[in-house]
Every structure is written in structure tokens, then in C-alpha cells.
């Protein structure tokens, strides 16, 4: 890659891909975004069409080049990141045999739970199996069915013809790399949630025959393994022509979204944490050794940074709760519908909640609209508003959503600090949620930590991909990254709200405990329908 050339970064989000161009030193030059649909199906199904992904990326790349007068020769490298824990089954010709099964899908839960169980069980895991998984991988398959191995088991039992005809199962990010280079490859970090790799030596992550036998998966149906910083090769002529790029563009292995967010937040030192709020949410950091907290669904898994682990966890719906409320309640497409929502709706929400006191007059929103993954692995729990009165207004409900997501983050923060055995003094904040001044301040107040908003918080994933590519092509070292990610605002916690938020957070956790059994009974036959 020449010094004057730029890096193209692609972030395949659940709602659609972001496409951005960065300098070789990781400075954002221009960006655009496209939309792709999600298909929610009965019994917990969640799918997307891989061709929708590719066409959206194609449109985004071409528009970025054309609108910014960038010639194909100006792009020297390309790196992908995106949604993790998905499954794309491809035939021998590289064609998808069906829609991609994405991270929200729980249809494989009964099959992975059956695999997990043994004669003597701890938290639903057979002791011998659990010991093998934790010792070799650093974690174990979740009971929720949202890991790729559960997707594959569902196909094996419910769509045997697709399973039989699958040549390779690929993660979404790795599918994009296949479309770009023709290589069936997964990175050490992206393959982790299949739970069939020995991760004890981070320089030599490899498939393990014991683990493959444990889940009943054939090695030949899985891709080769490479590091995130490895160069997969140049674009194929077909991909270059489709995207309007030069064939000499080098494609980097890349990483899933949790790992790219960690790099793009600038928090690359051990124990330096970041908070992400987009459709989903997480609090994570890099970690010096392998460790597992099975009871709260967290583990130290391979990072995109060679030789490093990072703390992996994810809360299912965060910003997605606010988007749901806007689209399905305020601007629902029904007999009472108003014609479309305004473009500045989220700015209007900020104005709306400005007059609502902190705590929303003790209205509590629980954000479990699609079950939960951490700090509890519970696909049957459901969300809602609690403690409503005749005084409750729409403004109260909107602010309660912001606060409910923050309560969930505080719940997770407790177990993250317990996991790393030290307090987290501050959090870098990224994702679309970080654009909201109100949400930044609510997070600071509820978590009782300074919240550091970084520049261009919605581009943290593309920035992480670009910075990884800069390292892979020799332009930067990982030690250079923190100074490349600027903090633009610091939100300090308001001590006046401490006692009230302590009380409401305690009630939030109690709501989960007291309603868990009810939700399990209500949803035992029709998860996420």
C-alpha cells in the first residue's frame, strides 16, 4: 500500500452497511450508509439476504467514490467488520443456499441445549463437556441458540438438505471476504462462537477434533483460519468491477463488530473499557489472559490484536428499543398512522425528554425486547414499562427507555468489574447512542462514571477496521492507536441523582428476578415470535 493511498472500511451492521474511507493513518475522509431488511420469522427466526448485503455495499462504495471524486487507484486496502454470530451456508460454487441466519436467531436453542447437557450438570452444562470447552476455548455455547454452532445444528436437524449441500459455513464478515477475494477463510476471532477451536495459543488457533466431535460438526464444512491482520489477497476481477475499485486493492482479514469497536474506541490497553450503544449494547475491554464467567455469559476470547484476549459480552436490545418505540408506537403503520416520521425525530426526542425529571418519576423500562444475552442468558425474558400511572406521558416513556438501557448497562458493569477484578474508572462511549447528549449524561449518572464520548462515535467500527488495516499494511502500530482516537466530550456524573438511581436500579434488577418465571411460562412455546 502506497503512502498516499486510502483504506476502505466496511461495517456490516444489522440495519445495513456503513462504508467509509480513511487515510493511511486512520483519519476519516468520507462515509455513507445503506439499509438492509431483517426478516423475523416464527419460533425465533431472524434472517437476512446475503445478496442484499452485497448490493448495499456495492451502492455505498460506488456512491462514496463518485460523490467524493475518488479514483479507484486512490484505494490501497480494504477491511471488513460487522455483525457477529451469524451463519451463511454456501454451496460448492460459493452461492448461499438460503438467507443468512443472524445473531438474533434462537431456533437452534433446543439442539444446542441437548448438546450442552450431560449426566451431571452445572447451569445446564454437563461437567465433562463444560471442562473441555472452557479449557480449550475460554467459554461455552450459550443456551439461547444464538451462536453459529446452534444455527448449524438447527439446519442439520430441520433443514437437512441445506446442511448436506453446504460446502462451507461462514460468518457474515467472512462471507464478505469470500465475495471480495474468493477465499473461504475465517479469522481467529470470528470463528470463536462456533466453539470448535483451541484458543490456548493465540498465535496458533486451530480446530480441535474433540470439540468437533462434541458438537457433531464436520471439519470440511468450515473455512481455513487466519489472523485478523493477515492479508487475504487482492480483489477478484469480478469484485473489483462490481465495486468500481482497482484489482490491486489488498483485503485484510478483518474482525467482528465487538473487536473492531474496541479498536475504534481507542481503548486498546488492557482493562481500558468502552461502552457501545447501537441496536445492541456491550461493555468490554482487552484482557491479558483466558478466563470465563459462565453464569453471566462472559469470557475472554481471541482479540483482533494478535496475542491478546478481549472480554466478550453483548446485551441484545439497546438503541433498538428506542427505534422500536419510534417505529412501532409513535409512527406505527396502522389505522392511526401519521404520514411518515420526520428525519429529525431523534433530535426531537432529546427536546421531548428535556422537561422530564431524572428517574422519569419512577417509571422503569426493561429493555429485554428480544430476550437477553448478558448479564443473564435468557431468551424468554421480555421487556416493558413498569410503574405507569395516569400522569405518565409519552415524554416519560421515552426518557424511561434511555434510562432502562442505562440500568441494563449498570447491571453488566458490575459483573465486568467482577470479571477483571478491578473498578473501571471511566468508559469511552461509542455507537449511535453516543450522539445523544441526554443519553451520555444518563449513562454517567446511572453508572456513576465519567463518560468519554469519542469523535465520530457512529464510525467506531469502520475506524477500528481502518486502523487494523493500517497496522496490517505497516502504516501504524497498535501502540499508535490511542492517540488517533480523540475524546470530544466528557460527561461527569451528577451527585444529586445518585440516591434515586441507586433505588431505581435495585428495582430494575428485582423486576427481572420476580418476572423471570412468568416470562419463561408465557414464552416457552413461541420464543421471540
DSSP track, 270-317? BT-EEEEESSSEEEEEEESS--EEGGGTEEEEE-SSTT-EEEE--BS-
Exposure on the CB side of residue 10, measured as CA atoms within 13 A: 31
Q: What residues form DSSP beta bridges with 88?
A: 170
Spatial neighbors of 309 by CB under 8 A, at least 6 apart, are 138, 202, 286, 287, 288, 289, 290, 291, 300, 301, 302, 303
Contacts of range 111-117, beta carbons closer than 8 Å, 24 or more positions apart: 111/145, 111/150, 111/153, 111/154, 111/156, 111/157, 112/141, 112/142, 112/143, 112/145, 112/147, 112/149, 112/150, 112/153, 113/143, 113/145, 115/141, 115/153, 115/214, 115/215, 115/216, 116/140, 116/141, 116/143
User: For residue 138, what is its C-alpha cell?
Assistant: 475460554
Distance CA 31, CA 54 (A): 17
Is 80 in contact with 239 (CB distance < 8 Å)?
no
Q: Model confidence at 342, in pLDDT bands (50, 70, 90)?
A: confident
Digit-coded pLDDT (tens) for 503-519: 999 999 999 999 999 99
Alpha-carbon separation of residue 495 from 205, 223, 426 (angstroms): 47, 52, 16
Asked if residue 261 has pLDDT above 80, the reply is yes
User: For residue 136, what is its C-alpha cell?
Assistant: 480449550
Is 79 in contact with 155 (CB distance < 8 Å)?
no
**Poorest-pLDDT segment among 268-277, 371-380, 515-524:** 371-380
Give the residue from 311, 279, 275 showing the smallest Cα distance to 447. Answer: 275
497: left (phi over 0), alpha (psi -120 to 50) or beta: alpha
Asked if residue 161 has pLDDT above 90, the reply is yes
Digit-coded pLDDT (tens) for 267-291: 999 999 999 999 899 999 999 888 8
**Poorest-pLDDT segment among 63-67, 89-93, 375-379, 415-419:** 375-379
pLDDT at 279: 87
Is 184 in contact with 192 (CB distance < 8 Å)?
no
Alpha-carbon separation of residue 136 from 113, 209, 211, 358, 497 (angstroms): 19, 11, 9, 46, 45
CA dihedral (373, 162, 235, 103) in degrees, to 10, reads -10
Mean pLDDT within 292-319: 91
Sheet harboring 309-312: ordered strands across?
A: 292-293, 298-302, 309-312, 281-287, 273-277, 427-430, 451-454, 487-491
Is 493 in contact with 448 (CB distance < 8 Å)?
yes
Is 304 in contact with 312 (CB distance < 8 Å)?
no
Contacts of range 28-35, beta carbons closer than 8 Å, 24 or more positions apart: 28/456, 28/459, 28/462, 28/463, 29/68, 30/64, 30/67, 30/68, 30/70, 31/64, 31/459, 31/462, 32/60, 32/63, 32/64, 32/67, 33/60, 34/59, 34/60
Express as a percent the part of the chain with pLDDT over 70. Answer: 99
Cis status of the peptide bond prior to 489, with omega within 30 of 0: no
Give the residue from 14, 151, 169, 35 showing the smallest Cα distance to 90. Answer: 169
| Domain 6-254 and domain 258-524 have a common topology | yes
Digit-coded pLDDT (tens) for 2-58: 778 999 999 999 999 999 999 988 999 999 999 999 999 999 999 999 999 999 999
Mean pLDDT within 211-237: 97
pLDDT at 128: 95
Asked if residue 109 has pLDDT above 90, the reply is yes
Mean pLDDT within 362-389: 94
CA dihedral (197, 200, 201, 204) in degrees, to 10, reads 0
**Poorest-pLDDT segment among 8-17, 325-334, 388-397:** 325-334
Digit-coded pLDDT (tens) for 484-508: 999 999 999 999 999 999 999 999 9
Q: What angle do CA 144, 196, 166 make, to 5 degrees?
A: 85
Write the class of the CATH domain 258-524.
Answer: alpha beta
pLDDT at 527: 54
Residue 204 main-chain phi, psi, to 5 deg: -150, 55
- Map out the domains of the chain as residue ranges: 6-254, 258-524
Asked if residue 528 has pLDDT above 70, the reply is no
Digit-coded pLDDT (tens) for 442-454: 999 999 999 999 9
Distance CA 13, CA 82 (A): 5
CATH number of 6-254: 3.30.420.40
Distance CA 208, CA 181 (A): 26
Write out the DSSP string of 227-266: -TTSEEEEPPHHHHHHHT--TTPEEE----HHHHHHHHTT
Q: Which residue has the cell 458438537?
A: 215
Is 468 in contact with 255 (CB distance < 8 Å)?
yes
Express as a percent the part of the chain with pLDDT over 90. Answer: 88
Note the pTM of the prediction, 2 decimals.
0.90
Asked if residue 524 has pLDDT above 90, the reply is no
Q: How are beta strands 231-234 and 364-366 bridged, if at all? A: unpaired
Asked if residue 468 has pLDDT above 50, the reply is yes
pLDDT at 333: 82
Q: Which residue has the cell 404520514?
A: 339
Task: Report the Cα–Cα distance between both ends of the chain, in Å, rounded.
Answer: 48
Q: Which residue has the cell 464510525?
A: 459
Query: Residue 425 in 3-state DSSP?
Result: coil
pLDDT at 529: 43
Is 276 in contact with 453 (CB distance < 8 Å)?
no
pLDDT at 526: 64
Q: Model confidence at 190, in pLDDT bands (50, 70, 90)?
A: very high
Distance CA 440, CA 460 (A): 16
Distance CA 102, CA 47 (A): 6
Q: What is the DSSP letter of 496?
A: G
Amino acid at each position: 500500500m502506497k503512502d498516499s493511498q486510502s483504506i476502505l472500511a466496511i461495517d456490516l451492521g444489522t440495519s445495513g452497511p456503513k462504508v467509509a474511507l480513511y487515510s493511511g493513518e486512520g483519519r476519516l475522509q468520507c462515509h455513507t450508509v445503506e439499509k438492509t431488511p431483517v426478516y423475523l420469522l416464527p419460533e425465533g427466526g431472524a434472517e437476512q439476504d446475503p445478496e442484499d448485503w452485497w448490493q448495499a455495499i456495492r451502492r455505498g462504495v460506488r456512491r462514496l467514490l463518485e460523490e467524493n471524486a475518488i479514483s479507484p487507484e486512490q484505494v490501497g486496502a480494504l477491511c471488513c467488520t460487522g455483525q457477529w454470530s451469524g451463519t451463511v451456508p454456501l454451496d460448492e460454487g460459493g452461492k448461499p443456499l438460503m438467507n443468512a441466519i443472524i445473531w438474533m436467531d434462537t431456533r437452534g436453542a433446543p439442539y444446542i441445549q441437548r448438546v450442552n447437557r450431560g449426566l451431571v450438570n452445572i447451569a445446564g452444562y454437563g461437567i465433562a463437556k463444560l471442562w473441555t470447552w472452557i479449557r480449550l476455548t475460554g467459554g461455552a455455547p450459550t443456551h439461547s441458540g444464538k451462536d453459529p454452532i446452534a444455527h448449524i445444528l438447527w439446519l442439520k436437524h430441520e433443514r437437512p438438505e441445506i446442511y448436506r449441500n453446504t460446502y462451507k459455513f461462514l460468518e457474515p464478515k467472512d462471507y464478505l471476504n469470500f465475495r471480495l477475494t474468493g477465499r473461504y477463510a475465517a479469522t481467529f476471532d470470528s470463528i470463536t462462537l462456533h466453539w470448535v477451536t483451541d484458543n490456548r495459543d493465540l498465535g496458533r488457533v486451530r480446530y480441535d477434533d474433540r470439540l468437533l466431535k462434541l458438537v457433531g460438526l464436520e471439519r470440511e464444512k468450515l473455512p481455513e483460519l487466519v489472523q485478523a491482520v493477515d492479508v487475504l489477497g487482492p480483489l477478484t476481477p469480478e469484485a473489483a468491477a462490481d465495486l468500481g475499485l482497482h484489482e490491486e486493492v489488498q483485503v485484510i482479514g478483518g474482525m467482528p463488530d465487538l473487536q473492531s469497536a474496541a479498536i475504534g474506541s481507542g481503548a486498546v490497553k488492557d482493562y481500558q473499557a468502552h461502552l457501545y450503544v447501537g441496536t445492541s449494547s456491550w461493555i468490554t475491554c482487552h484482557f491479558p489472559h483466558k478466563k470465563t464467567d459462565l453464569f453471566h455469559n462472559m469470557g475472554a476470547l481471541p482479540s483482533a490484536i494478535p496475542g491478546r484476549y478481549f472480554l466478550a459480552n453483548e446485551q441484545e436490545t439497546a438503541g433498538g428499543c428506542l427505534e422500536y418505540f419510534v417505529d412501532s408506537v409513535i409512527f406505527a403503520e396502522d389505522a392511526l398512522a401519521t404520514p411518515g416520521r420526520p428525519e429529525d425525530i431523534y433530535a426531537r426526542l432529546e427536546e421531548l425528554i428535556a422537561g422530564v425529571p431524572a428517574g422519569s418519576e419512577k417509571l422503569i423500562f426493561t429493555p429485554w425486547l428480544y430476550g437477553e444475552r448478558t448479564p443473564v442468558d435468557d431468551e424468554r425474558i421480555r421487556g416493558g414499562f413498569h410503574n405507569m400511572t395516569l400522569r405518565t406521558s409519552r415524554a416519560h416513556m421515552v426518557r424511561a427507555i434511555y434510562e432502562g438501557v442505562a440500568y441494563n448497562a449498570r447491571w453488566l458493569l458490575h459483573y465486568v468489574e467482577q470479571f477483571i477484578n478491578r473498578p473501571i474508572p471511566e468508559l469511552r462511549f461509542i455507537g449511535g447512542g453516543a450522539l445523544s447528549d441526554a443519553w451520555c449524561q444518563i449513562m454517567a449518572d446511572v453508572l456513576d462514571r465519567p463518560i468519554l464520548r469519542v469523535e465520530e462515535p457512529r464510525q467506531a467500527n469502520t475506524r477500528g477496521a481502518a486502523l487494523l488495516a493500517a497496522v496490517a499494511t505497516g502504516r501504524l502500530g497498535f501502540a499508535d492507536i490511542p492517540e488517533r482516537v480523540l475524546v470530544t466530550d466528557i460527561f461527569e456524573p451528577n451527585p444529586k441523582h445518585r440516591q434515586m438511581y441507586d433505588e431505581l436500579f435495585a428495582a430494575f434488577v428485582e423486576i427481572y428476578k420476580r418476572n423471570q418465571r412468568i416470562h419463561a411460562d408465557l414464552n416457552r412455546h413461541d420464543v421471540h415470535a
